[in-house]
Structure 1
Amino acid sequence: MTATDPLLRALAHPVRLRMVSLVWTAPLSAAELARELGISHALASQHLRRLDEAGVVELAEVRANRGGRERRYRAVHGTPLSDQRGEAAAPLLAEALAHTLRERAGRRAHDAEGVTADAELWVSPDAWEDFRGRLAVLLDDLHGAARPPHTPGTTAIGVTAMVFPLREDGPQAADPPNG
């Protein structure tokens, strides 16, 4: 995968990542996405076109709305982020995920429990494959349990995960931020 890959370019933007999450369980129009994301209708339409061109979302329905036609899109289910390979993929996706994580962390419900982890570990190949497989199943289960945004009786949650093997030739220590 190269930096010019349309799928990578479509997913390597934090607004588009949020859009994919929002249309995972129910189709939404550009106007609905604009309201949910606090962006203009034109910008939401532009992002939707990019996701549609990359095959990440698809037209789910066209319905009449105030004398016009409203196009509603849904996510194409699958795991386009699950195994992005190549030199260009990881840094671009990491930047988009980091932006999304910062935004979601600012909206965290401080009175509710969560799970936070960070690790650089050395484990056996079998332990890695077992963990990776179980995590993929858990994330798939969570996506399967998702309901449309703001469904009564649901809790909005944020999940950001990027788990991968490291090259042995990378830097062994990094300077702390602002250190």
Structure 2
Amino acid sequence: MVDETEPETDGQAVARLRATAHPVRLRIMSLLTAQAMSAAEVARALELTHANASYHLRVLHDIGELVVESEEKIRGGTAKRYRYDASRELADRTSGIDDRIAYARANAVEVERRLRDAAKGAASSSDLEAWVPVEVWHRALDLLHEASHLLHAEARPASTPDTVHVSATTNAFTMTGGLDGEAVRWIPAREER
């Protein structure tokens, strides 16, 4: 498990990215954003075997993506209830291009699954490769960061009355050929305070 008191090493960042670059694990993290669940509950919700759900939960817990929110005694054993806390701040998640591509592919598979289940209604989709001023780039990143944290913070358990089932995926990064490194370093606005 990642010790959050120590800075994350490059090796830990790569291990974290590789472990999350799996469509089932991405679904589990989304599911556990709204509520803590046991392996049996995750298995039922995602139509997995209990063993498969337990395995993926262990992998995510071991790399520090999930926290154990509680434990309860069930039929002579102990069931852990895991939760994904997207609001906790982690070290910079830099890694090699192959690892980032693996993560993007896993995300693409998950987005494709979600699109097959899309309902009619409000939606937004955007794709852009462009050159923009650094200040505009930083403002856009702040807005994306704020939107992501808002959605994670307000996530509710599945089928909660007066809620809408949504999908939101963001992927924004600087490209080669322009300013890079310290010239475009970004610190989220909420972390500057």
TM-score tier (shorter): 0.7 to 0.9
Verify: 1:100 aligned to 2:110, yes or no.
Answer: yes
User: Which sections of structure 2, spanning at least 5 residues, go unmatched?
Assistant: 1-9, 179-193
User: Map of 1:41-60 to 2, 5 A cutoff?
Assistant: 41-60=50-69
- Which residue number corresponds to residue 173 of structure 1? none
Are residues 23 and 59 of structure 1, via their aligned partners in 2, closer, same or farther at CA, if it must alter by over 3 Å? Answer: same
By how many angstroms is 1:78 displaced? 3.3
TM-fit CA distance, 1:79: 6.3
More displaced 10-residue stretch of structure 1: 66-75 or 130-139: 66-75
- Aligned match of 2:187: none
Contact 1:3 1:89 in 2 (8 A): no
Segments of 5+ residues of structure 1 without an aligned counterpart are: 170-179
Q: Distance in 2 between matches of 1:156 and 1:108?
A: 9
The match for 1:174 is: none
Report the counterpart of residue 146 of structure 1 in structure 2.
155
**Would you say the 8 A contact 1:60–1:74 is kept in 2?**
yes
After superposition, the Cα gap between the structure-2 partners of 1:83 and 1:123, relative to the gap in structure 1 and judged at 3 Å, is: farther
CA offset digits 1:21-55 (Å, max 9, x no partner): 11112110111111111111100000000001001
Asked whether the equivalents of residues 86 and 152 of structure 2 are also in contact (C-alpha less than 8 Å), the reply is no
2-structure distance, mates of 1:15, 1:77:
17
- Cα distance in 2 for residues equivalent to 1:91 and 1:31: 31
Q: 1:157 to 1:4 in 2, by over 3 A?
A: closer
More helix by share: 2
The 2-side partners of 1:79 and 1:166 are apart by: 27
* C-alpha distance in 1 between matches for 2:88 and 2:72: 28
2:38/2:80 contact within 8 Å kept: yes
Q: Secondary structure at 2:34's aligned position in 1?
A: coil
User: Shift of the alpha carbon at 1:18?
Assistant: 1.2
Q: Deviations over 1:138-157 (max 9, x none)?
A: 11111111112222221110
**2:35 paired residue among 26, 38, 41:** 26
TM value normalised by structure 1: 0.84
- Is 1:123 aligned with 2:129? no
Q: Is the 8 A contact 1:7 1:54 kept in 2?
A: yes
Q: How far 1:66 moved relative to its partner?
A: 4.5
TM-score (norm: length of structure 2): 0.78
> How is 1:1-179 mapped onto 2 (pairs within 5 angstroms)?
1=10, 5-78=14-87, 84-87=93-96, 88-109=98-119, 111-168=120-177
Q: CA RMSD in A?
A: 2.3
> Paired residues, what number?
168
- Where in structure 1 do 4 or more consecutive aligned residues deviate above 4 Å? 79-83
Aligned in 2, Cα 1:17/1:23: closer, same or farther, shift over 3 Å?
Answer: same
Task: Letter of the 2:116 partner, please give it.
Answer: G
Are the equivalent residues in 1 in contact too, given 2:66–2:83 (CA < 8 A)? yes
